[in-house]
Amino acid sequence: MSAEPGLTEASTRQRLSAEYLRALPKAEVHCHLEGCVPPATARRLAERHGVTLPAGAHDGDRYRFLDFPEGLQIYVAVSSSMQTPEDFRVVTHESLLSAAAGGCRYREIAFNPQNHPELTYAEMMDGILAGAREAHADTGIESRIIVAINRELGGEAALDLVRQVLAHPLDEVVAIGLDSNELAGRPSEFVAAYDLAREAGLKLTAHAGEHGDSTEMVECLDLLRVDRIDHGYAALLDPELLSRTVASQIPYSACWFVDYPEAEVEGRRRDVAEMAAAGLNMCLNSDDPALIGPEVDACYIDAGAHLDWDVKDAEKYALSGLDACFADAVTVDRLRAEFTAELERLRPLAYGSDDK
């Protein structure tokens, strides 16, 4: 970074234009499909399938909640409203179109099969891949799938899920993840599931350290042997872990929240700013762009302003998602060449029309 990440000090440098940051080619690797469902779509699906949504899903064009557990309740209810392959197709297609409109060229989509008992794994994947292929035809956006384990259901259910994934091999499914409430299941419960996935050639990631527990991150590194850490803010609380992951340069898929929840926004911004200053190998992501808000382009615009980015910083983050992604080497090399050419083309536009 070219400057210390002060969140309250006025910048002495002209800010990059929002138009430039929106146009940057981006690769996002931390995004949940069930968190991409806008409230209006969620209400329509819930009505169709007889699902009752929490009150926070009925307030206009955004979800309302006060804390993580309340937001998770909405997430689970929205997940329950996705009950057919067509629901998955529509949500996947719409989410990728929305991402592409903000310059996203590659997105890894995580989803929780265990949250949709009405469908088989194969049926869900049929809908997701149909939507992804339509979005690619419409916009050129590339996508890959991470099958996420709901840690609240325990290790045996996780092992069964990985077996289902391996019984239906798909090129688009590149990794196994671990999410939901971090307090509900230690990473050590999922060693067998992760070992099986690794032996089959899948990449591995896990949510860890989102809510202040650095020991959970150590378990993910040492027991699950993950290839990437999702969130990871608790590394700031553990100097040994921070030093270790700076040295290894394992990717962190951090999320720059603008709207979630209002009481935590500044704290999360400060965490991500400190992670960047510490030298972690970090990319920026939206996490749940409909549930939490906003899409990744708005995250770039907000982060660029708060962290006082210059063009070099912006280009670094534009490429950082490719460094962290789980796509095959041929795809990554092609996207890197495309991104590099586009970044060069966009440089004259960085500070707006008056500074070309």
In the predicted model, is pLDDT for residue 2 greater than 90?
Answer: no
How many CB atoms within 10 Å of residue 248? 11
Q: Is 302 helix (H, G, I), strand (E, B) or coil?
A: helix
pLDDT the model gives residue 10: 43
Indicate the pLDDT class of residue 190, thresholds 50, 70 and 90: very high
- Window from 128-132, 164-168, 204-208, 288-292 with minimum mean pLDDT: 288-292
- Window from 32-41, 60-69, 247-256 with minimum mean pLDDT: 60-69
- Let me know if 171 is exposed, middle or buried by CB neighbors in 10 A (0-12, 13-18, 19+): exposed
Q: What is the mean pLDDT of the chain?
A: 92
Q: What domains are there in the chain, each with its CATH number?
A: 27-37+82-298 (3.20.20.140)
* The two three-digit tokens of residue 253, written as one number: 């898929």
pLDDT the model gives residue 259: 61
Indicate the pLDDT class of residue 265, thresholds 50, 70 and 90: low
Distance between CA 29 and CA 321 in Å, rounded?
6
pLDDT the model gives residue 4: 41
Indicate the pLDDT class of residue 55, thresholds 50, 70 and 90: confident
Residues 67-95, mean pLDDT to the nearest whole number: 92
DSSP string, 308-356: T--HHHHHHHHHHHHHH--S-HHHHHHHHHHHHHHHHHHGGGTT-GGG-
More confident residue, 70 or 154: 154
Residues 172-191, mean pLDDT to the nearest whole number: 94
Through-space distance between the first and last CA atoms of the chain, rounded to whole angstroms: 23
Residues 147-159, mean pLDDT to the nearest whole number: 97
More confident residue, 135 or 55: 135
pLDDT the model gives residue 264: 63
pLDDT the model gives residue 14: 85
Indicate the pLDDT class of residue 261, thresholds 50, 70 and 90: low
Amino acid at 182: E
Helices then strands, each counted (H, E), the chain: 13, 8
In the predicted model, is pLDDT for residue 132 greater than 70?
Answer: yes
Q: Which residues contact 244 (CB under 8 A, 6 or more apart)?
A: 221
Distance between CA 322 and CA 341 in Å, rounded?
15
- Please give the helix or strand (H or E) that residue 206 lies within, else none: strand 203-208
Is 295 a known active-site residue?
Answer: no
Residues 75-80, mean pLDDT to the nearest whole number: 92
Query: Which of the following is catalytic: 108, 210, 219, 295?
Result: 210
Q: How many CA atoms lie within 13 A of 1 on its CB side?
A: 22
In the predicted model, is pLDDT for residue 23 greater than 60?
Answer: yes
Share of the chain above pLDDT 70, in %: 93
Confirm if 82 and 91 have CB atoms less than 8 A apart.
yes
More confident residue, 262 or 278: 278
DSSP string, 126-175: HHHHHHHHHHHHHH--EEEEEEEEEGGGHHHHHHHHHHHHHHS--TTEEE
Indicate the pLDDT class of residue 292, thresholds 50, 70 and 90: confident
Q: In the sheet where 252-255 sits, what is the strand order?
A: 26-32, 104-111, 142-150, 173-179, 203-208, 228-231, 252-255, 282-285
In the predicted model, is pLDDT for residue 29 greater than 70?
Answer: yes
Residues 109-120, mean pLDDT to the nearest whole number: 95
Residues 63-67, mean pLDDT to the nearest whole number: 83
Amino acid at 291: L
